[in-house]
Amino acid sequence: MMPDDLLERAAQEDLEALAQLDANGFICGRDEDAGAFTERLRRLRRNIANMEQALAEQGTFTIEDLTVSAEERIPQELFLEVASHCQELYSFHIDWVPGFFINPKASLLFGGCAYYFYPDFFALFIIRKTFRDRARWLIYRRQELLAHELCHVARIGLESMDYEETFAYQTAASSFRRLVGGLFRRQHDSFMFLGAAMLILAGQLIRTFWLPNLLTWPLWVVMAAVVAWLVTQHRTACQRLNDAMASAQTVFGDRTQAVLFRCTDQEIRDLARLPQESVQTWIDRQCEQRLRWKIICHRFLPPANTPP
């Protein structure tokens, strides 16, 4: 997966080695230096080796509340289905995440998800068994599920919240999902919406069976307020992302989307506020301070424009 010589070169800040790792979906973390970055990848390699050993010896592997079996392994060719899509959007491809077909408990509407851990780096992907033989089930597409979760795995070291779902949903075939996919970006966003929906349901039940004169319109006001908050938050974030795109495009051109994919939330906010004449200076400063930006510039800037 990662030969020793590649990791050794990366630990010495060899930009060619670091760029190769980046292209394979190993994006340098928010404030990682070369030593911390390569040590994280060595931990990943050990964790995957431990999983492979358990599968070979016992036939199963358990992590937290999940148990997977060797015979349910997702074949490599299914991951290859999404390789070109991730490469086209964000200039990375991942072929190292182990994946399994499984129907977890309470899996009525389950499509798929990724288990990933940081900084004790490990990632594992599961999708519904239906996708073994079918590319689509209900609203889910196998290719979208894989690409979406692989985006999360690639960005795990950035510890992003504001744009994590927005980037991942750009892999969707539906323009509607690409537009609104980042609406629920934190767990409490989902809880607020579900809480308002449950209040409406409870109000309707109480009115139907016990209190026919109960006013339920205030509950709809609560729901409207929650939706308005989510939409406003999402629109603001999208506008900020577009502003950051416009700023970075003056330097990176058509590689800008891949660059922003490797940015932290704060860096996107900073880029969105910058006047165009200050963008190059800001990038040069990032390259002086952060290994991740050295890798970004090495991969996505023409050699003549790459900071020393």
Per residue in 192-251, pLDDT (tens digit) is 999 999 999 999 999 899 988 888 899 999 999 999 999 999 999 999 999 999 999 999
- pLDDT at position 81 is 80
What is the C-alpha separation between 214 and 203, in angstroms, rounded? 8
- pLDDT at position 239 is 96
Q: Could you read off the pLDDT of 91-105 as tens digits, one per residue?
A: 999 989 999 998 876
- pLDDT at position 100 is 92
- pLDDT at position 43 is 94
Helix (H) / strand (E) element for 127: namely strand 122-127
Q: Where do the domains of the chain lie?
A: 1-159, 160-308
pLDDT > 90: what percent of the chain?
A: 63
The list of the chain residues with pLDDT below 50 reads none
- pLDDT at position 284 is 96
- pLDDT at position 185 is 81
- pLDDT at position 148 is 92
Q: Are 243 and 269 in contact (CB under 8 A)?
A: no
Say which DSSP state 118 is in.
T
Residue 172 is encoded by which pair of tokens?
């969707």
- pLDDT at position 305 is 58
Return the exposure string of 93-105: e unless at least 16 CB atoms fall within 10 Å of the residue's CB, then b: bbebbbbbbbeee
The pTM score is 0.90
User: Of the candidates 177, 184, 223, which has an alpha carbon nearest to the alpha carbon of residue 200?
Assistant: 223
Q: SS3 of 60, please?
A: strand
- pLDDT at position 110 is 80
Residue 247 is encoded by which pair of tokens?
């700023």
